Structure 1
Amino acid sequence: MAIREARFRCTGTPDYGMLREQISMLHGVTAMAIDSQNAGVIVDWEDTQITPLRIELTLNAMGYQKL
């Protein structure tokens, strides 16, 4: 069991309300920090609960790309 972290940046206009809602529905995500200055988000997750691909695909659908 380990906590992992990934950073993403929005490629369009960020919708932080929708971002919070979508991320909160992902079982295994342990924390999320929004970087509004850089239109980014940092996501932490428990690697035995969710895959990085699942997080990435969810964020890609909202216009975020992994850094």
Structure 2
Amino acid sequence: MTPEEVLKMFERLCIDDLALDPDDAVTEFASWLAESWTDLSDDDIATLTSVGATLFEAGLKRRIIREL
């Protein structure tokens, strides 16, 4: 899957209001990353780890807001 295809998939999820909860997205992403780790380049790992951290931060902020 190309980066463009992944972006289009996320666009469709947002347009259709089917976007995943950030916590679910982090869990799924971490599972996929763990399975794919050995097949990825160092640059891929760095980029994908950054994406995962961003998803985690979004989920954390959402939890904090819910608790207020």
TM bracket (short chain): under 0.3
Higher helix share: 2
TM-score computed with the length of structure 2 as normaliser: 0.26
Tell me which protein shows more strand as a share of its residues. 1
Q: Which has the higher contact order (CA 8 A, sep 6+)?
A: 1
